Structure formats: C-alpha cells, structure tokens
Amino acid sequence: MQKILVTDLVHDLLLEGFEKAGFQVDYFPEISYTDVFKIIDQYSGLIINSKILVDKKFIDRAINLKFVGRLGSGMEIIDKEYAGQKGIGVFNSPEGNCNAVAEHALGMLLCLANNLIDSDREVRNFEWHREKNRGFEISGKVIGIIGFGYTGESFAQKLLSWDVKILVHDKYKKEINTQGGRINLVSKDELFAESDIISMHLPLTEETKYYVNEEFFNNWRKKGILINTSRGKIVQSSALLEALTEAKLVGACLDVFENEKPENYSPKEKEFYKALFDLKNIVVSPHIAGWTFESKQKLSNTLLNKILNFLNI
C-alpha cells in the first residue's frame, strides 16, 4: 500500500479522501523537518504547509515521491523545476483561502481607517476620545492591487460595491475580467500616480523579493496605505519603517513579515520590530489572513481533488 505523509494540520476530509482512495495516511502535524527528511524515502505522497523545504537535497532523498501538495499558495519552498525533472507532481491550493485573505485585508483596512484598535483599548480603560479617533471612509478612494491571481481578484470582487476606483497591475496579464469597466488594468506608473491604497498579492520569487522598497515609496505619488497579506519578503522592512516614520505613508496593514519567528529574533531584529510595532498607524496580525475554519476545509478539498485527478483516481 502506498503511503502519504501529512506534516501539518488539515481538515479530516483530506485524510479520509486519501484513505478511501486506497492510501495509508500518516498524519503527523507536529513533525519536524529533520524527522520528515529521515523518513521521506518511505512515501509516495507529501502534504505540507510552510515548515518543510522541498529543495534538491530533499527531493533526492525522496526516492519514491510522486506528488507534493502545498496547503495554500506559496510555492517558494518547493523546487518545482527539479521536482518536475524527477517526475514529481506539485500542487498548491490558492483557491482554498483566497476569500479568507481578501476578507482579512478588508478587515485590517477598516480597523486602520476607523482607529478601531486604539479606540477599543481606550474604551475598555473607560476612556472616551471621539475626536481623537475620527476615521476616514474607504468610499471614493482609489485602490491599487498589485498581482491579480486568486487573492488579488477576490479582493477586487469585494470592493466592487464600495464606490471605489479599482486599479490592477499584473506584469504577466494582458487582459482581465474588468467587470464591465469597474476594474482597470493599468501600468505600474498609473497605479502609483492614482492609488490611495495599494494591496500586495504577489507570490515570493527572486523577481518579487523586496518589490516594495525605497524606490517603490518614492514613486508612489500619494501618501497612502500599504496592505500586505502575501509574503513578508515582498516588502523590504527597513524601507517600510522609514516610509512610515517619515510620513511617506498614512499607514500600513501587515499580516506577513520578513521574520515571523520572534523567538529567533537577533538583538537587531528585536530593536527593529519594536520600533515598527510601536507605531500607531499600522495594524498587524500573525500571518493568519488565510487561516479560517472555512479555508481549512477548502484548502484540503482543493488539494485532494487536484491530486486524485493527477493520479487518475
């Protein structure tokens, strides 16, 4: 019987689906990379989230591997080209959590626009500062979306009824569904010229690493709001902090960071993140934009169907 190793939390339907298809499923959501590397030669299938790096060394060890399934969208942890050379199918599931990410991005934006974080804390402390917490409305703004895959498109769909102008820049798309002219595919220059808010929806590649840098902020003609729910290394942290402290930005909504493991922060990183997190004009969360109860099921169902189709089961 062929075996599948599942290294992260998944919905039961994924486990049950593979078992029904005739596989033995070993479900070890707490397993470490070191332990996976030791036993991966025993498995024909692997389901991962983000802690397992499927690089050339790993693939060479995985002599029986037929497929790798990635819960979510980020493929930077998998050497897709080398896996393909070895005949290993590689799948991700951005369809499964794109709605969750889009909703989270909107939630963060509304929190920032309406000072909900500070005002919530103040009211709990019996403080009542109405004028200090006067917010601004999203209606009438120009919102730029960089990257128009599943999450970028889902974010745009949610904005269609908000009386905003939606601009999209995607280097690799010549045309998109404009929803009757309500979504506009534009150049980067046009997006920088008009956008009040820019939301990032890019995969992490060599091309997109530090896509948001000092030049990005200098080219952005308005003092706007940056939203990043994609990957931390899309944004150069030092440039972001400088833009926020020097008032090149109104604020930022950040679900992802260059280093997402506070226990591993160097003294310099601790100093940096303290300075960032002390700012009042940001809303932050611990990489949970795509992490809902519903997305857990959708991610699992999407991967299961793709892999069973690949295997002709």
Give the residue numbers marked as catalytic. Answer: 231, 260, 287
Q: Are 10 and 71 in contact (CB under 8 A)?
A: yes
Tell which residue, 224, 96, 207, 203, has the closest CA to residue 147.
203
Distance CA 230, CA 82 (A): 25
Q: Exposed/middle/buried for 146, CB within 10 Å: 0-12, 13-18, 19+?
A: buried
Question: Is there a contact between 15 and 303 (Cβ–Cβ < 8 Å)?
Answer: no
Cα distance between residue 108 and residue 105, in whole Å: 5
Alpha helix stretches (DSSP H) within the chain: 12-20, 33-39, 56-61, 80-85, 94-113, 116-124, 150-159, 188-194, 214-219, 237-245, 267-277, 293-310
| Helices and strands in the chain: count of H runs, count of E runs | 12, 12
Dihedral sign, Cα of residue 69, residue 75, residue 78, residue 83: positive
